Chain A
Amino acid sequence: MRRFLDRYWYAYAMVLPVVVVIAVLVLYPLAQGVFFTFTNINEGNIANPNLDRPASFDVVGFKNYINVLSGGESFGAFWDTLVRTLIWTFSCVFLHYTIGLGLAMLLNRQVRGRALYRVMLILPWAVPAFISAFAWKYMFNAQYGIINQFLRAIGLPDPVWLGQSNWALVSVIIVNTWLGVPFMMVALLGGLQSIPGDLYEAAEVDGATPWQRFRHVTLPGLRSVSSTVVLLGIIWTFNMFPVIYLIAGPNPNARILVTYAFERFFSGASRDYAIASTYGVLILSVLLVFATIYRRALRKQGEVW
């Protein structure tokens, strides 16, 4: 034990502050949050020193999980919402990645005005997300939004984007794609530039077509960057809150799991903290299962992560 401490004490001393913060601000609340899912805690019975009121919620067992997982509309239609969340996540990340990769490959060439293009293309990343959300909400307005004015001008149908239909989901996916492409583009551009030029020369000498060079040099060279940014992208998008909250509000057609959890926590007459927590735990479980599978798949391909 002494030798152990002698050897490692400075390492432990250095990580101590972070461990304390994580324990106090993350692990303890996490345990409490899991506990709340088995209670009927809400605005009316949470402990509130301001009102001199002790906690008076009761343990109700698995009732919250049963309510949520049975998928009823009054508890947010869990399964429908899950499917919508998956559609939202995968379409966003797919569009981020493909458009980001395409633009990165264009920018990786010798193009006149490359610096200018780059500056313009990362603008969506530079603007705070809540500002962009307001801008798009304005542009998506059915009557006076510039998007519908444009569609009418070229003779296309002009849908009510943010109404009670699936167009609402399409709208928020468009906005989130616009927001997320620059990050992918920049990360993948970094990856592209770290692929040695000799590999392309060698491939060319061997008579590889452009497609083959892309398939057998570019993609493998981007493997490690891609696997990281795609995983991060999926997690971030799955938990993405401001875009949907600020643009679509409580519209059930654009509802994903996190926005519904927030709805239960914050808006409406019944601030149902127990259901909000239950949603939180379920979201976390979905992400954990996904991350485990993702990791296993990578490891199978010989990637250590």
Chain B
Amino acid sequence: MTLDASSLQVVKAPERRLRRADRSKGASIALHATLIVASVIAVFPVFWVFITSLKPDARAVEPTPKLFNESSLDNYSRVLSGEKGDFIAWFGNSVLIALMTTVLGVFISATAGYAASRFRFPGKRGLMMSFLLVQMFPFAVLIVPLYNILIALGLNGTSIGLVLVYCTTAVPFCTYMLKGYFDTVPADIDEAGRVDGLSPFGVFWRLILPLAKPGLAVTSFYAFLTAWGEVAFASAFLSAADESKTLAVGLQVFVQQNRTEWGHLAAASILVAIPAIIVFYLVQRFLVQGLASGAVKG
């Protein structure tokens, strides 16, 4: 996939450059205008949250827009100091839960993804179908029985319980994505390993896994993101105690009926979004490749 794309680029480059020279001035302007408008729409909400995060709550609800209005960093210091709810604990819970889901999900699904990519065995089709089917499950069909199971096990309201719940979606998804990555590692490598006397497990562990590292990283990242941003199960299953909430649940406190603290909410949002955005941009190149190869290969 990578190889293909880059070699195509090399061949295409001169011809493409010609195209740009061909394009009329009007077409160029229209092209840039469209892209600029789209970019502004994409960026504006985030920009506006940032502007709001600097305003006091009372200034954030004034019916005349101003860029700066008694702006300061007070909101940030109050959110971080825990005056407005235990933000640091929410952050810690979100990281912990997402991390545990990721590790468990990738660990469990790696071998299955490999088997589905390489071997033909009876029941494989059914298994692949079931991964797709699980993608289709509305959480509503599982939420009651999972709740039932969690209280039976005494795990209701705990992080571990939530991790188990997230595995219902993370495991099939990771398996599906990892299969896509293993498909891009040439099967000749397996054969060479087998000829040299490695067992199927040895081939997987010593040869394929190291080669699929980028794929593992991206799958992990994706699993992490899904758990990080999940709202429904977290709202329903975590106990009401402030220090056990995740970010997605905790931030809802700012906009409850009698209390719309937009300034503080915005500051908290920026604190959550910045690390997410940085990591996203670091790995997005690989993410795109993975999605594309997964999608093309089905």
The yes or no verdict on A and B being binding partners is yes
Q: Give the interface of A toward B (CB within 8 A).
A: 8, 10-15, 17-19, 21-22, 25-26, 28-30, 32-33, 36, 41, 46-50, 99, 102-103, 106-107, 109-111, 117, 119-132, 134-139, 141, 143-144, 146, 149-150, 178, 181-182, 186-187, 189-191, 193-194, 196-197, 201, 224-225, 228-229, 232, 235, 238-239, 241-242, 245-246, 257-258, 261-262, 265-266, 273, 276-277, 279-281, 283-284, 287-288, 291, 305
B62 at interface, CB cutoff 8 A? yes
Contact A22 B272, CB 8 Å, known A29-B142, A110-B19, A288-B136: no
Stretch at the interface among B35-43, B73-81, B183-191, B209-217: B35-43
Query: Which of B16, B121, B200, B201 is the most central at the interface, judged by chain A CB atoms within 10 Å of its CB?
Result: B121
Q: Give the interface of B toward A (CB within 8 A).
A: 4-5, 8, 11-12, 15-17, 19-20, 31-32, 34-35, 38-39, 41-43, 45-46, 48-49, 52, 60-65, 108-109, 111-112, 114-116, 119, 121-122, 124, 127, 130, 133-149, 151-152, 154, 164-165, 167-168, 171-172, 175, 199-201, 204, 225, 228-229, 231-232, 235-236, 247-248, 251-252, 254-255, 262, 265-266, 269, 272-273, 276-277, 280-281, 284, 288-289, 291-292, 295-296, 298
Contact check, B272 vs A131: say whether CB atoms are below 8 A apart: yes
> What is the distance, in angstroms, from A170's C-beta to the closest C-beta of chain B?
16
Q: Which of B138, B284, B295, B298 contacts A287 (CB 8 A)?
A: B138
Residues of A within 8 A of B39 (CB): 117, 120-121
> What is the distance, in angstroms, from B215's C-beta to the closest C-beta of chain A?
15
Contact A21 B273, CB 8 Å, known A33-B145, A130-B251, A235-B135: no
**Once bound together, how far apart are the Cα atoms of A155 and B251, in whole Å?**
35
Nearest A residue (CB) for B154: A49
Residues of A within 8 A of B64 (CB): 149
> What is the distance, in angstroms, from B167's C-beta to the closest C-beta of chain A?
6
Q: Which of B8, B46, B137, B229 contacts A193 (CB 8 A)?
A: B8
Q: Given A33-B142, A41-B144, A284-B137, 5 more contacts at CB 8 Å?
A: A14-B115, A15-B112, A128-B228, A138-B52, A277-B140
Contact check, B65 vs A149: say whether CB atoms are below 8 A apart: yes
**Once bound together, how far apart are the Cα atoms of A283 and B114, in whole Å?**
32
Q: Which of A41, A242, A261 contacts B229 (CB 8 A)?
A: A242
Residues of A within 8 A of B254 (CB): 134
Residues of B within 8 A of A144 (CB): 60-63
Residues of A within 8 A of B235 (CB): 245, 266
> What is the distance, in angstroms, from A265's C-beta to the closest C-beta of chain B?
6
What are 25 contact pairs spanning A and B, CB under 8 A? Answer: A8-B119, A10-B199, A14-B200, A15-B115, A17-B108, A21-B171, A30-B137, A49-B152, A103-B35, A103-B38, A111-B31, A111-B32, A146-B65, A149-B63, A186-B291, A197-B8, A197-B15, A228-B295, A235-B135, A261-B138, A277-B140, A277-B141, A277-B144, A284-B137, A291-B136
Q: Which of B17, B34, B135, B281 contacts A126 (CB 8 A)?
A: B281
Contact check, A10 vs B201: say whether CB atoms are below 8 A apart: yes
**Once bound together, how far apart are the Cα atoms of A99 and B64, in whole Å?**
32
